[in-house]
Structure 1
């Protein structure tokens, strides 16, 4: 687990939103991470390396959940406003995610939402026409999860 010291405030460079349609196969998480790296470089250049890694891990986890459970088109939307970063993954399943006990024996997961919350993100889901949008949002509050 990453040990993070308090990150500087999320004071962005250019404010912005970027939406990236994702492939529906196993390449979706790496595609999403590449898009997130470019977005962070452009909008949050002063982000600490630890927080940068946290964001990429959360992107991977949310996109992997969409690929595994929605089995259809998905998209990653990254948004910066003054003091916030929102990671949002939309998919074509109307079933909201529910945190479950991690399964460490057969590798079926169950850790993604827990990881996002442990890294200090506020995780929530909103229904959208034809599916849902799962958000992991960071703001200027210091991380409070385990190891922080």
Structure 2
């Protein structure tokens, strides 16, 4: 996957990481968004509100994909370091996400990875022995 738009500069105020275990049901995306708001408020309080909303949308989309396509637990890890913000969602499915044409009529999705890229994230999948980790990374370089 490639980013088609240039991301705005990302300059977090402090270095930090937080891993949040997520519930397995439909409440996982809202739980993840609340955790992300707290993390960003603590680590990066000067983040533009519009950009914060972009981050929360990407968190929701990645976590929703994990809940929908991976049976079992997932985690959200947020990391800021040296001008980067990495949103990482780990789940127990080894199948990598497959971008597909968005379904605008039946409501079956297909927009999450496209949304992340359109908002300036570099999306990539890290295979793990017991699943995968999907990253959406922002870099100011």
Q: Could you state the TM-score of these two structures normalised by the residue count of structure 1?
A: 0.88
Structure 1 unmatched runs, 5+: 1-5, 142-148
Q: CA RMSD in A?
A: 1.4
Distance in 2 (alpha carbons) for counterparts of 1:128 and 1:60: 22
The answer to whether the 8 A contact 1:125-1:132 is kept is yes
Q: Aligned residues, how many?
A: 136
Partners in 1 of 2:57 and 2:97 — Cα distance?
A: 18
Q: How does 1:1-148 map to 2 (within 5 A)?
A: 9-141=9-141
User: Whole-Å Cα distance in 2 between the matches of residues 48 and 31 of structure 1?
Assistant: 22
Cα distance change on mapping 1:129 and 1:7 into 2, 3 Å = closer
Counterpart contact for 2:7–2:119, Cα < 8 Å: no
Query: When the two structures are superposed, what TM-score results if normalisation uses the length of structure 2?
Result: 0.92
Point out which structure has higher relative CO (alpha carbons under 8 A, 6+ apart). Answer: 2
Unpaired stretches in structure 2, ≥5 consecutive residues: 1-5
Whether the aligned pair in 1 keeps the contact of 2:8 and 2:120 (CA below 8 Å) is no
Task: Give 1:8 shift.
Answer: 6.9
